[in-house]
Structure 1
Amino acid sequence: MSKILQKFLIVNLAIIFILSACRKKEFDEFYGRPETLADPIYQQLQAKGNFTRFLDCIDKSGYKETLSKAGSWTVFAPTDAAFTTYMTENNLTEINATLASAIVRYSMTYDGEKVERLSDNLTAKGFVKNVGFRRRTVYYDFVYDGIDNDGKAIKVIAGNRNGAYLPTDFNNKNLPYFLSPFVTFAGISALDYNYFYPNTEYTGKNVGPGKIIEQDIVAENGVIHIVDKVLTPPQSIDQYIGTKAQYGAFKSLLDKYVSYNLNTDITHRYQVLTGKSDNVYAKNYSILLGFSPNNENYLKEDANDAQIGMYTIFAPTDDAVEAYAKVLLKYYAKNRLQPGNYKAQLNELFSLRSDIIRDFINSHLYRTTVWPSKFNTVNSFLGEATKLTPANVVDKQFLSNGLFYGVNAAQNANVFSTVYGKVNLDPTYYIMKQALDVLGYAIPIKTASLKYIVIPIPDATLVSLGFSYDPFYPSSPIRGDLNILRRLLQTHIIPLGDRAVPNFATTAGILETSGGEYIKYNNGFFSSAGTEDLPAVADKSIKIDSVATAVNGADAYAAKVLMYTVLPVSKHIEKYGTLTTDPYYSFFQYLKNNVTLYTAATGAIQGVTDGTSYTVFIPTNAAIQAAVTAGLLPKLANGTPNYAPTDAGDISRVAKFIQYHIIKSTVASDGQKTGSFESLLKNDSGDAAKVTVFTNTTNTLTLRDVTNTSVNVLLGTTDRSNVLSNRTVIHQINSYLKYQF
């Protein structure tokens, strides 16, 4: 090679080298690790010198590489002093690899966050300030040894959804923290924190049982917060209750809603990891329960909603379950179940009425956090606040997926303690119970704050009327004419408002039912429009056999049903208006002869619509004569009533008079309704003339017409007031109501 060529190559290589060096420098300056960038988490802990125990755990757990390179973690790092305390308290001389892994993984949460951001919830729409108190950790349980429903030993993995298992979700446990922004937002205080962690000072920067003593140490791969306690993963509700014998009865009921389902994905993963051939079954709780006690996630309405919510369970002890079993088994233990202890009988009850056991369990399950200071402000899965107090709590745990309160009394749930509860628990009324649920009448009567009287209808009576319950028709399990059944049920449900339960045995009165119709009681007997229609005197009322009080009223038991009437209103006026001596005689004579209002073939009164409530005020015969004398009604030459006028004007006057004495609402002497009510009478513009119910007590009912003249309803024992008709009440009044158009 010539010297010229050698020199040329040397020069070109030198130029290439120089250019390459320049480009590398530019690349490193742009893409290389900045000199100002903090070291990774592992190296920073190493440099500090007082985390040798935690670093040893990191090494044993296999997370050294993870915490030594790029990533985004929040690590709550316990000091060596914290480890010394932990090992002393737990009588440990060393920490094995399994425990080390649990400590490290539970101390790591996803995404590196400073303290100021930990209380914010990261949602699909962005951060929501101050609502968070938990973060998902790296720690999760895997396959464990379990026992299936047949007592067979199997490999199990916990369900990670309410009622299901998803192989793509590891069911990570969440780490709780109590930071001032959240505590203020939630309206709780140090008392709530110290209720679960009595030996730790509340500082507003607490993580589980520990305190953050140094915060916001920024690392290349996240943020470090130094804590004074070693954090270990708590048990789930399912894990905890399974280890405590004092909750055995309640757990046995929970177990009835557990299924074990073979999961091929987890089975394959387990077999690859362990080299074993066992199948793995997912332990799933039924979706009929408020939540799954082994589910570490929350509702999953948002990917990160476990940051803002967790479950709560009030677990009654065996003694508490035994005491409350007397309520649940009251109608079954003597006649339907084999003699034995309460646990065996509850098991048998499940086979007969699983809904009772389901409701008993769900009355103790809350799909939200029930803080100690807020016991009575949060509703259970059944929609009611607990009646228990912190004084009932004998065991309290802040578990990985919920708050756990062991209690010495069972929740006296509304589904058992209200007027609905008697129907719910007694198998004699099972069809009615199902009908109340299906047709939407159950919610008001099982609300403890709403007072009711319920008159239960026995199954035998409903069957005789053509009704039954058949669960094989899920869309319409109540068989029979539902329109008739609805009206029957409404007649047997009486809202009390703020009134006390009447003394049915020795007093008399009238009560409005939930359908707007009325029933009467009189010295131990009920009557309704339908019963009063019956020809036999003995059938016109039904005997009240007994009355059972409830937290929101009473159940009044009778052997027969209170029927409604199908007769038109005119027939009940006619009943007391046929003879000249009858109290409604003059009024009915004008009505039946008025061709614009009355249809003789059907008894229909124009303007009185089927299914609508009315009150008819009927003047006495003497008051009708006074109206005739005053010129409001047509008369004969001798001054007596002309019941069948032929003059169009006279016919119109009769129609207007009658229409003004019928209002569009049921009113009775029960002390409930006062005010202004529209009548059937309307002016040419379509505006209704009104009648005012001025006073209403159990022994006084006073009206005022448009001229402000007072008229009294006659309520004596010989008067015909509070007469029951078809969604209507009929009263006798001492005068007539005067209209002005």
Structure 2
Amino acid sequence: MSKILQQSLFVLLTFVIVLSSCRKKEFDEFYGRPETLADPIYQQLQAKGNFTKFLECIDKSGYKETLSAAGSWTVFAPTDEAFALYLKENNLTEISADQASAIVRYSMTYDGEKIERLSDNLTARGFVKNSGFRRRTVFYDFVYDGIDNDGRSIKVIAANRNGSYLSTDFNNKNLPYFLPPFMTFAGIGATDYNYFFPGTEYTGKNVGPAKITEQDIVAENGVIHIIDRVLTPPQSIDQYITAKTQYSAFKSLLDKYVSYSINTDISHRYQVLTGKSDNVYAKIYSGVLGFSPNNENYLKLDANDAQAGMYTIFAPTDAAVEAYSKVLLKYYAKNRLQPGNYKAQLSELYALRPDIIRDFVNSHFYTVPVWPGKFSTVNSFLGEVTKLSPSNVVDKQFLSNGLLYGVSTAQNANSFSTVYGKVNLDPTFYIMKQALDVLGYTIPIKTASLKYVIVPIPDATLVSLGFSYDPFFPTAPIRGDLTILRRLLQTHIIPLGDRAVPNFTTAAGILETSNGEYIKYNRGVLSSAGTEDLAATGDKTIPIDSITTAVNGADVYATRVLAYTALPVSKHIEKYGTATTDPYYSFFQFLKNNVTLYNATTGAIQGVSDGSFYSVFIPTNAAIQAAVTAGLLPKLANGLPNYAPTDALDISKVSKFIQYHIIKNSVASDGQKTGTFESLLKDESGDAAKVTVAINTTTSIILRDVTNATVNVLLGANDRSNVLSNRTVIHQINSYLKYQF
């Protein structure tokens, strides 16, 4: 090779080496690890020298590489002093590999966060400030030994959704922390924290039972917060109740809602990991429950909603369930269930009436955290504020997926304690109970703050009227004419407002039912428009059998149904207006002879529409004569009423007079309705003339007409007022109402 060529090659090689060196330097400067970057979590803990036990756990659990490499973790690292305390409290000399794995995985949460960010809930829409108090940890339970509903030993995995299982979700447990932003947001404080963690001082930087002693140590792969206690994963609600025998009765009811479904994905994963051939079954709680007690996730309305939410359960002890079983079994134990202990009878009741057991269980379920100071402000899954107080609590646990209060008294749910509860629990009224539910009348009458009287209708009565319940027709389980049934049910539901339950045995009065019609009570008997239509005197009233009080009123048991009337209003006026001595005689004579208003064939009064409510105020015969004398009604030559005028002007006078004495609302002497109401009388422009109910008490009704004259409703023992008609109440008045057009 020539000397010139050798020199050229040397120069070229030198250039290539220099160029490569420059490029490597640029690459390292751009992609290389910055000298200012903090060491990874593992190395930082190692350098601090006070985390030897935690590092040993990391090594045993196989997480050394994870915590030494890239990633994003928040690690709550317990010191060696914390481990010394843990070993002493648990009588341990060393920590097993399984224990080490649980400690490390439960101390690691996803995403490295400083203290200032931990209280923010990361949602699909971004961070929601101050609402977070938990983070998902690396720890989750896997397959465990269980027993299915037939008593067979099987391999089980907990559900990770409410009512279902998703094999791609590991059901990770969440770690709670208590920082000032969230505590203020939730309206709780040190007392709430120490209720569950009495052995730890509340500092405003607490993680479970531990305190954060040093915070925000930034690492290459996350953030370290140093804590003074070792954290171990708590049990779930399902795990805790299963392990505690004092809740065996309540657990036996929960088990009614458990099914076991084989999962091929988890079975395969288990077989690969263990070499065993067992199938794995997902333990799934029914979706009819408020939540699944073994679900570590929250509602999953958002991927991370467990950061801001958890469940609460009030778990009644065996003694509490036994005591309350007397309520649930009251109408069943004697005649419908086999003799035995309360657990066996509750199991039988579930077979007969699963809805009763469902409501009992769900009354103890809350889909939000119920903090100790907020018992009376949070609604259960059934929408009811708890009737329990901290004095009923005999056990309290901050579990992995919810708060648990073991209580010495079962929840007295509205489904059983209200006026609806009596109908609900007593099988004698099963068709009525189902009709109330299906037709939408249940919620008001089982709301404890709303006062009602219910007159239950027995199944036998409803069957005799052509009604039945057939669950095999889920879209239309109530068989019969629903229009009639609705009106019938509404007549047996009486809202009280702010009034006390009447004294049905010694007093008398009138009550408006839920659909605007009225019933009457009089010293141990009831009556309605339909019963008062009956011919036999003994049938016109219904004896009251018994009265049972409830938290929101009373159930009044009667021997027959409170029927409504199908007769037109005119027939009830005619009833007291045929003989010359009858109180409605003069008014009815004018009405029946007025061809403009009255249809003699049907009895219909023009302007009185089916389905609407009215009051008719009928002047006494003497008051009618006074109106005749005053020229408001036509008269004969002798000055007496001309009941059948032929002159158009006189006929118009009669029409206007009658129309002004009928108002568009039903009013009775119950002290409830006052105000100004439209009459049937209208002027030429179509505006209705008004009548004012100025005073309404149980003993007095005073009306005022458009001339400002007052008229009294006659409410004496011999007066014909509060007469019940078809969605109408008829009253006798001492004078007449005067209009001005």
The secondary structure found in structure 2 opposite 1:65 is: helix
Q: 2 CA distance for matches of 1:55 and 1:740?
A: 98
2:726 aligned with 1:726: yes
Structure 1 residue 4: Cα displacement: 2.1
Matches within 5 A, 1:452-601: 452-601=452-601
* Alignment-derived partner of residue 249 in structure 2: 249
Distance 1:655 1:25 in 2: 109
Corresponding residue number in structure 2 for 1:40: 40
Partner of 2:376: helix, strand, or coil?
A: coil
Cα distance in 2 between the residues matched to 1:97 and 1:633: 104
Residue in structure 1 matched with residue 179 of structure 2 by the alignment: 179
TM-superposition CA deviations, 1:399-429 (whole Å, max 9, x none): 0000000000101111111111100000000
Partner of 1:323: 323
Given residue 630 of structure 2, which amino acid in structure 1 is its aligned partner? A
Distance in 2 (alpha carbons) for counterparts of 1:624 and 1:5: 142
User: Counterpart of 1:88?
Assistant: 88
Deviation at 1:646?
Answer: 2.2
Report the Cα distance in structure 1 between the residues aligned to 2:685 and 2:161, rounded to whole angstroms. 63
1:613 positional shift:
1.0
- Tell me whether 1:611 sits opposite 2:611 in the alignment: yes
Q: 1:685 corresponds to which residue?
A: 685
Q: State the distance in 1 between where 2:79 and 2:431 align.
A: 65
Distance 1:23 1:730 in 2: 105
TM-score by length of 1: 0.99
How many Å separate the matches in 1 of 2:80 and 2:677?
81
Distance 1:679 1:214 in 2: 79
Counterpart secondary structure, 1:711: strand
Displacement, 1:150?
0.3
- State the alpha-carbon separation in 1 of the partners of residues 7 and 43 from structure 2: 50
Aligned residue in 1 for 2:355: 355
**Partner of 1:242: helix, strand, or coil?**
helix
8-17 vs 162-171, which moves further: 8-17
> What is the match of residue 225 of structure 2?
225
Map of 1:675 onto structure 2: 675
Aligned mates of 1:472, 1:10 — CA distance in 2 = 97
- Aligned letter for 1:589? Q
Identity %: 83
CA shift at 1:263, angstroms? 0.7
Q: Distance in 2 between matches of 1:285 and 1:225?
A: 37
Instruction: Please say if 1:55 is aligned against 2:55.
Output: yes
C-alpha distance in structure 1 between counterparts of 2:59 and 2:649, whole Å: 107
Question: Normalising to structure 2: TM-score of the pair?
Answer: 0.99
2:139 aligns with 139
Quick check: 1:194 aligned with 2:191?
no
SS at match of 1:224: strand
The ranges of structure 1 where at least 4 consecutive aligned residues each deviate by more than 4 angstroms after the TM superposition are none
CA distance in 1, matches of 2:151, 2:351: 19
TM-aligned CA deviation for residue 590 of structure 1 = 1.4
Q: Which residue of 2 aligns with 1:303?
A: 303
CA–CA distance in structure 2, aligned partners of residues 695 and 118 of structure 1: 63
Displacement of 1:685 in angstroms is 2.5
SS in 1 for 2:64: coil
Question: Which letter maps to 1:599?
Answer: N
How much does 1:706 deviate? 1.1
Matched, 1:30 2:30: yes
Match runs of 1:82-161 below 5 Å: 82-161=82-161
Partner SS for 1:574:
helix
Q: In 2, distance between residues paired with 1:280 and 1:685? A: 80
How far, CA to CA, are the matches of 1:248 and 1:35 in structure 2?
60
> For residue 376 of structure 1, what is the amino acid of its counterpart?
S
Superposed displacement of residue 158, structure 1 = 0.2
Residue 6 of structure 1, CA deviation: 2.1
Query: How large is the RMSD of aligned CA atoms in angstroms?
Result: 0.9
Letter in 2 for 1:668: A
Q: What does residue 394 of structure 1 align with?
A: 394
Shift of 1:659: 1.2
Deviation at 1:20, TM superposition (A): 1.5
Q: CA deviation at 1:79?
A: 0.6
Q: Deviations over 1:69-96 (max 9, x none)?
A: 1111111111111011011100111111
Which residues in structure 2 correspond to 1:336-485 (within 5 Å)? 336-485=336-485
Alpha-carbon distance in structure 2 between the residues aligned to 1:738 and 1:19: 115
TM-superposed CA distance for 1:649, in Å, is 2.2
Shift in Å, 1:527: 0.5
Name the CA distance, whole Å, in 2 between partners of 1:641 and 1:72. Answer: 99
> After alignment, is 643-652 or 606-615 more displaced?
643-652
SS of 1:437's equivalent?
helix
Alpha-carbon shift at residue 684 of structure 1 (Å): 2.3
Q: Which residue of 1 aligns with 2:291?
A: 291
Question: How far is the alpha carbon of 1:609 from its aligned partner?
Answer: 1.3
Could you tell me how far apart the structure 2 residues matched to 1:63 and 1:609 are?
81
Indicate yes or no: 2:2 matched with 1:2.
yes
Q: 1:633: how far off?
A: 1.2
- Matched residue SS, 1:548: strand
Q: What is the CA distance between 1:182 and its match in structure 2?
A: 0.4
> How much does 1:686 deviate?
2.3
What is the letter of the counterpart of residue 472 of structure 2? F
For residues 649 and 146 of structure 2, the distance between their equivalents in structure 1, rounded to whole angstroms, comes to 91
Corresponding residue for residue 335 of structure 2: 335
Worse-matched range after superposition: 481-490 or 632-641: 632-641
CA distance in 2, matches of 1:646, 1:6: 143
Structure 2 distance, partners of 1:722, 1:655, is 24
3-state DSSP of counterpart to 2:243? coil
1:466-513 CA distance string (max 9 Å, x none): 111111111221111111111011000011111111111121111100
Q: String of CA shifts for 1:345-403, please: whole Å, max 9, x gaps.
A: 11111111111111110111111110000001101111101111101100000000000
Partner-residue secondary structure (3-state), 2:635:
coil
Structure-2 separation of matches of 1:392 and 1:185: 27
- Tell me which amino acid in the other structure corresponds to 1:167: S
Secondary structure (helix, strand or coil) at the match of 2:77 reads: strand
SS of 2:388's partner is: coil
- Matched with 2:630 is 630
Instruction: Determine helix, strand or coil for the equivalent of 1:376.
Output: helix
Looking at structure 2, the residues matched to 611 and 17 of structure 1 have their Cα atoms a distance apart, in angstroms, of: 102
| Separation in 1, partners of 2:707, 2:699 | 24
Output the amino acid matched with 1:143. Answer: V
